[in-house]
Each structure stands twice: as structure tokens, then as C-alpha cells.
Amino acid sequence: MNKIKNKFLFILAKILTASSPGATYLAFAGAGSSAQLCAHIRRSGFKRVLVVTDTILRDLGIVDKALEGFKGSEVDIAFYDGVQPDPTFDQVAAGLAVLKEHDSDVVLAIGGGSSIDCAKLVAARATSDEDPRDWVGFAKVKHDVMPLFAIPTTAGTGSEATMGAVISDSVTHEKGVISGAGLGMGATALDPDLQMGMPPAITAATGMDALTHAVEAYICRWDRGTRKENAERAIRIVFDNLKRAYDHGDDAEARESMALASYYAGIAINQVNVGTVHAIAHQLGGKYQIPHGLANAMVLPHVLDYCVAEAESALAELAQLIGVAAQGQSTRDQAQAFIDAVVQLRDAVGIPATSEKIKAEDFDYLVDLAVAEGTGYFAPKLLDDAGARVILGKISA
């Protein structure tokens, strides 16, 4: 039944995307690009900006630095800084209350994926009285959304380039994905100056998150748009720069490169969605609050092992792309070489292979949710109960 449902969803996705307008992307990149974005917002005529962020970034002064481009202007700024990791519907409601009180005319996200995702849904609620819980699923946000902009302070989630948002239920902690054409950014700023102080652990997890997005887009069964080209760019950049950014947090060139990798990977998944890694990682985040990038990094090599036969040619191409394919190797050996390279990069940036939080007694619950979510993705091999259970077993300490 899951195979039939997956086939139906694949056909439906093709029909819906064929009749929908293509996404447009605008990014200011490089040192000081956050000021360029602020100037762009001013030139666009917006006067009342709601900034969606978290208290840590405000306390560190990163938010003030990102907003320097508004100094001396008539722009009035309000803040919702209550975003927590894995934002909830309650946080969206709290952000909306600030927006209405301020009478904002635009939303600017400053932060990681959680802040950007929360901002997307605040902007969507600003122009709709619908319950956002009814939007969970594919392309259910169909109305016009308040204008949105983003300044990411991490390099990995790609949310600044996608038309989707991950949201959690504050009671069950289950995660859902909400998507719609209106959730795309009007523009974003990829400013390495705001990422220079990112701790090594966050650099590693977010960088592996970007790699996961790019790999899942590349091996996807849906060959749509520029997903392969953008995925290739992101994968090459991550392998060339993640360890460098991890070891030398003040390396501006590596920081800018990783910001671009996140953006390219975001564009790739925006065209074909994510895959089986996310189907499992979302459950780990919901159940155990394991950070999303960390969960992806633990799961990725095992999912690639799971689908290596179906994705063999694509994985071999990626081995050639990053220079780990030896001359004369079989396609299968090249595919394995890429999987081994992923493990080596994960280990090199200090990400553990397992987590003590993951408990065998929870496997039934986790497997049911992961398989159900995986049915909606177009991975090379559909996730089944046995496969999900084996993968969970390999990442539980």
C-alpha cells in the first residue's frame, strides 16, 4: 500500500508543479551583504519590519549587527525573539501577536532554520485566519503571504532558499512539514560576517545538514529543474570547506563558501524535496530533541547503505565529483567510496555515530512515523519497517 501511495503522490507532485509558477531566487552574498539586504528592503518601500529571531542571537549582538543597514532610516523595527529549536505552533502564534500589535508590513528572519521556519509561518498567518495545523502537507499554503526576507546565521538548513517550513506540535513533539509557493523568500543575505563566531559543533552539524540536503536531492528519483547542478555545487563546496570552517572558525572564505553550499542545497531540495534521511531524522528531533543537523549526520551514511543498489550510479558520480573514485573501480565500489567519504567527513568534524538518547523501546513508535513520512518522498528506495528498524539500531548507543 505504501508503494501505491508513493506512486500516487509522485504523480500528483508532478501535476501540481507543472501548473505552478517556478521559484525565483535573489541572494546578496559576501561580507556586509546583510546591509545590502536591509537597503533592498528599504528600497522596496517597507517601513515596519518584524524581526523573527531568538534571544541568544540578540544577546550576542548578532541581530544588531545584521540590522546595521537600517540605521538612519525611517524603518520601524519590532522583535519577536521567542523562537526555540524546533519551533512550535505556539511560537508562531506568539510571533503573530507581535506582528499585529506592531502593524508590521514585512517579516525578516535572522537566525538558523528554526527562526526562518517560524518567520515563514508568522508571515503566512498574517494574511490568513486559517489554522496552520491544517497546512501540514504538500502545497497547502495557497494564499498570498506577507513579504518575507531572511538573514541566515548558520550554514546548513537551506530554509532561506526553500518554500517549506518544519513545525512541531508543542504537546506531541511530532514534526510536520508545511509548504507553499508563498513561503519563499523575497531575498536573502549570505553574510559570512554574521557566522564567524559560530561554534565548531554547530558548524559541523549545520554543514552536514547542507550535505544531506544536496545528496538527497541528487539521488532523488525525480529529475526536475536544476536539482543535480545545485546539489553538485553544494556537495563539492562542503567537502572542500566544512573541515576548514570547523577547524578555523574565523576563516571568512570558508564561511562564505559554506553559506553558499547551504543556499545551493536549499534550492536543490526546493525542487524535489528531501528524502529518507529526513523521514528518520525528523522523528529523532521530535522524540529526543536531537538537533536536526546532528540527526541527519548520524542517519545519512546508513540510508545510503540502505539504498546503495538503487542509487549506485548516482553515488558513483558523486565519488567522481569529490575525487574519491579510483581508476578501474566498479560502479558499486565507487558508490561505496562516496559513502565512506561521508563517514570520514562526519568523523573529522566531531559528530558522533550514535546517540544514547535513542532507545530500542521507542523503535515501534519511531518506525511508524518514519515510514509514514518517507512515503511522501521520492527517494531511490522506499523506506520500509525493516529498513527503518535496522538504521535505528545502528545509531542507538
Residue pointed to by grid coordinates 539586504: 37
Number of domains in the chain: 2
Report the pLDDT value the prediction gives residue 19, as an integer from 0 to 100. 66
59 within some domain: yes
CB 2 within 8 A of CB 375: yes
Range of the domain at 307: 200-395
Q: Are residues 98 and 231 in the same domain?
A: no
Q: Are 162 and 217 in contact (CB under 8 A)?
A: no
Contacts (Cβ under 8 Å, ≥6 apart) of 393: 360, 363
Edge to edge, the sheet with strand 106-111 lists 27-29, 187-190, 148-152, 106-111, 48-52, 76-80
Instruction: Provide φ and ψ at 251, rounded to 5°.
Output: -80, 100
The pLDDT value given to residue 21:
67
Ranges of residues in the chain whose predicted pLDDT is under 50: none
160 and 293 inside one domain: no
Residue 326 CA neighbour count, 13 Å, CB half: 8
Where among 154, 169, 194 does a domain terminate? 194
Residues 242 and 317 in one domain: yes
In DSSP notation, 50-106 reads EEE-BHHHHHTTHHHHHTGGGTTSS-EEEEE-B--SS-BHHHHHHHHHHHHHHT-SE
Which parts of 103-226 fold into alpha helices (H)? Answer: 113-125, 200-219
Whole-angstrom distance between the N-terminal and C-terminal Cα of the chain?
33
Q: What is the CATH number of the domain that holds 226?
A: 1.20.1090.10
Do 215 and 331 fall into the same domain? yes
Q: What is the pLDDT of residue 15?
A: 79
Here the cell at position 377 is: 518522498
C-alpha cell at 269: 531540495
Query: For position 98, what pLDDT does the model report?
Result: 98
Are 167 and 293 members of one domain? Answer: no
- Domain membership of residue 4 (yes or no) is no
Statement to judge: residues 235 and 374 lie in one domain = yes
Q: What share of the chain is helix, strand, coil (3-state, %, to 5)?
A: 55, 10, 30
pLDDT tens-digit profile of 308-362? Answer: 999 999 999 999 999 999 999 999 999 999 999 999 999 999 999 999 999 999 9
Question: Per residue in 172-205, pLDDT tens?
Answer: 888 889 998 899 999 999 999 999 989 999 999 9
What is the DSSP pairing of strand 148-152 with strand 27-29?
A: unpaired
What HEC string does 196-236 produce? CCCCHHHHHHHHHHHHHHHHHHHHCCCCCCCHHHHHHHHHH
